Amino acid sequence: SLIFYKEWHAVASWTWDAQDETCGICRMAFDGCCPDCKLPGDDCPIIWGECNHAFHLHCILKWVNSQTSQAHCPMCRREWKFKG
């Protein structure tokens, strides 16, 4: 016999595909957001460096801008370059 559904409810979730669960700068979870943002998602993305360490975009931008000379990864101290 056939079954007909009158309604259904979809449930979905998302997560960033990062090696770590938290930002190495602010220590907030990647499935959340940085301390400067209210909501996680596209407005608070994760950015990877060539060294493969990941940070919230806002956290790494603050870090890079606070360095007096060439910026280095806060985790491994390699020269910071955004992964392209």
The secondary element (H helix, E strand) that includes residue 60 is helix 57-66
Does residue 31 lie in a domain region?
yes
Kindly state whether residue 2 falls inside one of the protein's structural domains: no
Q: Which domain holds residue 29?
A: 18-84
Residue 10 in domain: no
Token pair recorded at residue 75: 């985790």
Is 39 or 82 the better-scoring residue by pLDDT?
82
Q: Is residue 9 in a domain?
A: no
Q: For residues 40 and 72, what is the distance between their CA atoms, to the nearest angstrom?
A: 26
**How do residues 18-44 score in pLDDT, each as one tens digit?**
677 899 999 998 888 899 998 887 888
Q: Per the domain annotation, does 4 fall within a domain?
A: no
**Residue 83 predicted with pLDDT over 80:** yes
pLDDT reading at 12 higher than 80 = no
CATH for 42: 3.30.40.10
The amino acid present at 75, given as its one-letter code, is M
Model pTM score:
0.74
Cβ pair 25, 67 in contact under 8 A = no
Identify the three-state secondary structure at position 55.
Answer: strand
State how far the Cα of 59 lies from the Cα of 77, in Å rounded to an integer: 16
